[in-house]
């Protein structure tokens, strides 16, 4: 099944998809240890509802009740050769902060020489007028802890007692599942596709077994790892199974994974982060 890569700069000669690194890795702190201090109204989150990586950050912002602390603007889920655009439409809008027409303007305002792929999510600093970070991993941790004095939520999605185990399972889920669906779907040679698809379904089988005797991945309370997995499971049957050729099984065929997915969806506030019409246009 030889094919042409959708993103040539992120493919190896062997046909493997290799996701680009995040370009900006600033950090918001509440202790003065960075140039980005935690403050209400200072930061703005740019996201797409079609993007699972951005969806993770929307979920943590919601669970931590940071809606009044960190503003958010949703881009048009349909991209053309110009990339993510700010337009008014159902579930998305123009940019109220900078008046940008395209998210690429935020990248070039931060680094005029930027030449990589423009991705969501993006955390924008209205004071320095630059991107703080475009790393969803960092943003989940920043939202979990940096703004605690500005919210009444005591929820901790990254408890100290579980951090080594969380980090290890995060890596496994990212490599085999979160990014695994893209490694299969964007493979441009048959053997690369076969390897990625087998790893993906081996991982889903392992997670199905893990969930046989526990409600969440680490027991009775969800942590950040659960939401990292949730955003992929949510889109799997509608998008990855067909469009990305991850069609050995569906999530509905896994009794424990499908029950777990439904359980997480019913956590207060989560349904409001999901737009199935837009999510079914999942992007990378």
Same-domain check for residues 123 and 219: no
Residue 78: enclosing H or E segment and its boundaries?
A: strand 76-80
Residue 175 CB neighbour total at 10 angstroms: 14
| Residue at which a domain ends, from 115, 150, 185 | 150
Each residue's pLDDT tens digit, 232-247: 999 999 999 999 999 9
Same-domain check for residues 137 and 23: yes
The CATH number given to whatever domain includes residue 258 is 1.20.1050.10
Same-domain check for residues 109 and 136: yes
pLDDT, position 229: 98
pLDDT, position 280: 62
pLDDT level of residue 5 (50, 70, 90 thresholds)? confident
pLDDT, position 283: 61
Total domains present in the chain: 2
The answer, yes or no, to whether residue 10 has pLDDT greater than 80, is no
Same-domain check for residues 169 and 243: yes
- Provide the residue range defining the domain that includes 79: 19-150
The answer, yes or no, to whether residue 45 has pLDDT greater than 90, is yes
Catalytic residues: 51, 182
pLDDT, position 60: 99
pLDDT, position 3: 60
Average pLDDT, the chain: 95
Same-domain check for residues 49 and 164: no
pLDDT > 70: what percent of the chain? 96
| Residue at which a domain ends, from 120, 150, 180 | 150
Q: Would residue 189 count as lying in a domain?
A: yes
| Residue at which a domain ends, from 150, 181, 207 | 150
Helices (H), 48-189: 52-63, 104-110, 136-145, 163-173, 180-185
Each residue's pLDDT tens digit, 116-133: 999 999 999 999 999 999
Q: b/e for 209-229, b at 16 or more Cβ within 10 A? A: ebbeeeebbbeeebbbbbbbb
Residue 79: enclosing H or E segment and its boundaries?
A: strand 76-80
pLDDT, position 1: 46
> Residue 160 burial (CB < 10 Å; 0-12/13-18/19+)?
exposed
Q: Would residue 5 count as lying in a domain?
A: no
Same-domain check for residues 93 and 26: yes
Same-domain check for residues 146 and 243: no
Each residue's pLDDT tens digit, 175-189: 999 999 999 999 999
Q: Would residue 96 count as lying in a domain?
A: yes
Q: b/e for 87-100, b at 16 or more Cβ within 10 A? A: eeeeebeebeebeb
Same-domain check for residues 145 and 115: yes
Q: Would residue 208 count as lying in a domain?
A: yes
Same-domain check for residues 102 and 180: no
Q: Would residue 145 count as lying in a domain?
A: yes
Each residue's pLDDT tens digit, 181-237: 999 999 999 999 999 999 999 999 999 999 999 999 999 999 999 999 999 999 999
Same-domain check for residues 26 and 67: yes
Q: Would residue 94 count as lying in a domain?
A: yes
Each residue's pLDDT tens digit, 24-39: 999 999 998 899 999 9
Same-domain check for residues 33 and 142: yes
The answer, yes or no, to whether residue 8 has pLDDT greater than 80, is no
Same-domain check for residues 180 and 230: yes
The CATH number given to whatever domain includes residue 119 is 3.40.30.10
């Amino acid at each position: 099944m030889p094919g042409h890569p959708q993103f040539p700069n992120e493919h190896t000669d062997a046909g493997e998809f290799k996701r680009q690194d995040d370009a900006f890795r600033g950090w918001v702190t509440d202790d003065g240890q960075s140039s980005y201090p935690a403050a209400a109204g200072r930061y703005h989150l740019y996201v797409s509802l079609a993007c699972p990586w951005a969806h993770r950050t929307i979920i943590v912002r919601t669970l931590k009740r940071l809606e009044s602390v960190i503003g958010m603007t949703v881009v048009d889920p349909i991209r053309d050769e110009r990339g993510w655009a700010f337009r008014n439409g159902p579930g998305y809008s123009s940019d109220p902060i900078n008046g940008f027409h395209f998210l690429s303007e935020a990248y070039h305002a931060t680094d005029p020489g930027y030449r990589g792929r423009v991705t969501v999510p993006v955390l924008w600093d209205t004071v320095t007028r630059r991107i703080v970070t475009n790393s969803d991993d960092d943003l989940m941790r920043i939202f979990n802890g940096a703004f605690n004095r500005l919210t009444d939520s005591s929820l901790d999605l990254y408890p100290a007692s579980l951090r080594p185990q969380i980090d290890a399972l995060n890596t496994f889920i990212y490599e085999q599942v979160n990014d695994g669906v893209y490694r299969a779907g964007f493979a441009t040679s048959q053997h690369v596709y076969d390897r990625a698809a087998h790893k993906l379904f081996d991982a889903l089988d392992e997670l199905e077994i893990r969930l046989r005797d526990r409600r969440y991945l680490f027991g009775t309370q969800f942590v950040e790892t659960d939401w990292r997995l949730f955003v992929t499971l949510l889109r799997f049957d509608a998008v990855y199974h067909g469009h990305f050729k991850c069609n050995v099984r569906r999530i509905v065929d896994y009794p424990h994974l499908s029950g777990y997915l439904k359980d997480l969806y019913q956590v207060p506030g989560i349904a409001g982060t999901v737009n199935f019409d837009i999510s079914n246009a999942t992007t990378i």
